[in-house]
Amino acid sequence: MQVRSFDIHGVHEFTPKSFPDHRGLFAAPFQEAAFVEAVGHPLRLAQTNHSVSARDVIRGVHFADVPPGQGKYVYCPRGSMIDVVVDVRVGSPTFGGWTALRLDSTEYRALYLAEGLGHAFVALEDDTVMTYLCSTPFTPSAEHGISPLDPELGLPWAEHLGGEPVLSDKDRVAPTLAEAADAGLLPDYQACLRRYAELRDAVS
């Protein structure tokens, strides 16, 4: 398993070895030992999510209140997508920054984003599947979003879209990053750091 970290604190890429043969292919997108070495604590698994998206569907940018927040380990078992992580943690040195990564069913790369980070993706082909391993269950009152089309963020959709973006009604009317900050909806970076320390201390 190859691991790569990013400038945004709490974002890690995991690339497993794949083993093709005459029957097909085998890969292990999540491996606990590699995860713990990179992140510093095991992934608490409270819920798995499965989404199927048509070409040009954008989902996100979604995040949860911290504490407890929701860490996500995501990969694409079918199709392909551009996955985006946005730092929405107020006070973070990379606040408003983002990173984008192609996830697909060729290399089975996975992406982990820690609690407090925003997540979005665009499907590059029909029937693209996203699998999410989530550290906490879905809690509607604690879930929030910002607009994936916020011009100040400048997320890289245009270069990957084949047509008009397809969004849910909720994502289409979501506030911009600045509006969400003014409304007090965004996670606090120091609260996130305390949460990460709690998770590490729980296994020390």
Helix (H) or strand (E) holding 130: strand 128-134
Task: Tell me which residues are annotated as active site.
Answer: 62, 132
pLDDT digits (tens, 9 = 90+) for 78-117: 999 999 999 999 999 999 999 999 999 999 999 999 999 9
Distance of CA 50 to the CA centre of its chain: 13
Is residue 26 within 8 Å of 19, Cβ to Cβ? yes
DSSP category for residue 142 = G
pLDDT at 204: 67
Tell me how far CA of residue 187 lies from CA of 67, 92, 177, in angstroms.
9, 10, 12
pLDDT at 15 over 70: yes
Provide the residue ranges of all domains of the chain, joining segments of one domain with +.
Answer: 2-15+27-202
Confidence band of 203 (pLDDT split at 50, 70, 90): confident
pLDDT at 14: 98
Mean pLDDT to the nearest integer, 145-158: 97
Q: How far, in Å, CA of 3 to CA of 105, rounded? A: 18
What is the domain class of 2-15+27-202 according to CATH?
Answer: mainly beta
Per the listing, tokens 């320390």 go with 197
pLDDT digits (tens, 9 = 90+) for 19-69: 999 999 999 999 999 999 999 999 999 999 999 999 999 999 999 999 999
The percent of residues above 70 in pLDDT, for the chain, comes to 100
Mean pLDDT (the chain, rounded): 97
pLDDT at 79: 98
First to last CA, the chain: 24
pLDDT at 60: 96
Supply the pTM of this predicted model.
0.95
